[in-house]
Structure 1
Amino acid sequence: MKKFEEKTIQTETIYDGKIVKLQVDDVTLPDGKTSRRELVKHAGAVGIIPITKDNKIVFVEQYRKPLEKSLVEIPAGKLENGEEPSVTALRELEEETGYTASSPTFITSFYTSPGFADEIMYLYLADDLEPVENAASGDDDEFIELLELTLDEARQYVNEQRIHDAKTNYAILYLETLERM
């Protein structure tokens, strides 16, 4: 057994939905005791940082029901079954912004909430944007508005908590790092 590994004794699926699966695992802890873990299983997601030719970042604003408010975020979406993250990045870019890019650059991946969920997010940069004629539309239940902001304006949105999610904050920190190089 690995140093901190917890061995699953039993898994009970509570809910199996379109986006998440909820389960409760009974586990044996490294010290031999047992405990329960409530888990969210997720297919994974992609976020993309779109940069226009005039060096603005394309964001989407949308209502987030769990928070009961709107947030300004980088375009993002769930991986479809068997879909490569780079394909998801381009699909979401087109659906949410009406842009495409020839070669998005992979930046990194990270776990969004490892204390209770297995969702992994892949982050890409697209700085060769081209508008798409007759762009694919997004989900029927998705209502978004586009914003193009400078990095300074995005920082102000962070201070105002209009940008207030991890993937978008990570994207802004990444762009700040590039700016310093």
Structure 2
Amino acid sequence: MSERVPSLWVPGDENLHAQCKVYDVYKRHYRHPGDGRSGDFYIIHCNDWVQTVPLTEDGQVILVRQYRFGTQALSWEVPGGIIDDGEEPVAAGLRELVEETGYRCKTSRLLAQCYPNPALQENRTFFVLAEGCTLHSGQNLDQHEELEVKLFPVAEVSRMARNGKISHALAINSVFFLESYLAGQPVMTGQV
């Protein structure tokens, strides 16, 4: 095995390449600090994201299924979305839970966080645990959202993540963090 430690490349000039609805793409120049190699790389700037891991009072997981334009397929996921400027991750997670499902929870906490794709993106994804969820209202969906809401036992959600019925990477992370939490194992709640 190689014992060589990769270098921290030095960022240089950055220019806006494309503005999109929920993110901007920047072209950033980098230089290797040792051998001088350099190149342009495309980085996506966007707000942080939140994934809410909701458990009902009887311990079932609330999932949503929606059409995903990238894969052109339906996708089972936990509720989630973009964290608004100035919004705390837990507040954003609870907002997304209510908007997408109509459920509210009794207790909530930050469960974990990660970088969704550090090769291209700078943002983080926060995972919020929402326990004791009960239905309080109807959905309040964005213009292009159409979501099915369904309750599943935790064991079934774990099987769905393992057999490909849950295929969204962040939803799979949600299942992993939930399993760790329920097993009493530590989860990553610190800074990444």
TM-score, normalised relative to structure 2: 0.85
1:20 aligns with 2:26: no
The one-letter amino acid of 1:123's match is F
Q: Which residue of 2 aligns with 1:74?
A: 78
Greater shift, 92-101 or 146-155, is seen at 146-155
Which residues of 2 match residues 151-162 of structure 1 at below 5 A?
A: 151-162=154-165
d(CA) in 2 for partners of 1:65 and 1:141?
11
- Give me the identity figure in percent: 22
**How many Å separate the matches in 1 of 2:99 and 2:120?**
29
Q: Which residue of 2 aligns with 1:61?
A: 65
Q: After superposition, give the CA deviation of every residue in 1:93-121 in whole Å (9 maximum; x if it has no partner).
A: 10011011243111111000001111210
Describe the superposition over 1:21-71 as per-residue Cα deviations: whole angstroms up to 9, x where unpaired: 101111111222211111111111111111011211000001111111111
My pick for the range that moved more, 109-118 or 160-169, is 160-169
CA contact (8 A) 2:11 2:30 kept: yes
Following superposition, the deviation at residue 136 of structure 1 comes to 6.0
Residue 115, structure 1, aligned to residue 119, structure 2:
yes
* Residues in 2 aligned to 1:118 and 1:76: alpha-carbon distance in whole angstroms: 18
TM-score (norm 1): 0.90
Distance 2:84 2:136 in 1: 22
In structure 1, list runs of 5 or more residues that go unmatched.
none
Residue among 67, 86, 90 paired with 1:86 = 90
Which of 45, 49, 66 aligns to 1:45? It is: 49
Match of 1:33 in 2: 37
User: Are residue 167 (structure 1) and residue 170 (structure 2) matched?
Assistant: yes
Which residue does the alignment assign to 1:138?
141
Provide the aligned length of Structure 1 versus Structure 2: 178
Runs of 4+ with deviation above 3 angstroms: 178-181
Q: 2: distance between equivalents of 1:47 and 1:180?
A: 20
Q: Which amino acid in 1 is paired with 2:47?
A: A
Query: Residue 177 in 1 paired to residue 180 in 2?
Result: yes
What is the aligned partner in structure 1 of residue 10 from structure 2?
A: 7
The aligned counterpart of 2:101 is 97
Contact 2:53 2:78 in 1 (8 A): yes
Is the 1:77–1:92 Cα contact (8 Å) retained in structure 2? yes
1:136/1:159 CA distance change after superposition, 3 Å: closer
Question: Could you tell me which amino acid in structure 1 is paired with residue 144 of structure 2?
Answer: D
Q: Report SS of the residue matched to 1:167.
A: helix
Counterpart residue type for residue 65 of structure 1: F
Letter in 2 for 1:69: A
Q: For the residues of structure 1 that align with 2:39 and 2:52, how far apart are their CA atoms?
A: 38
RMSD: 1.7
Q: Is this contact kept in 1: 2:114–2:124, CA < 8 A?
A: yes
- Residues in 1 aligned to 2:181 and 2:58: alpha-carbon distance in whole angstroms: 16
Distance 1:23 1:107 in 2: 31
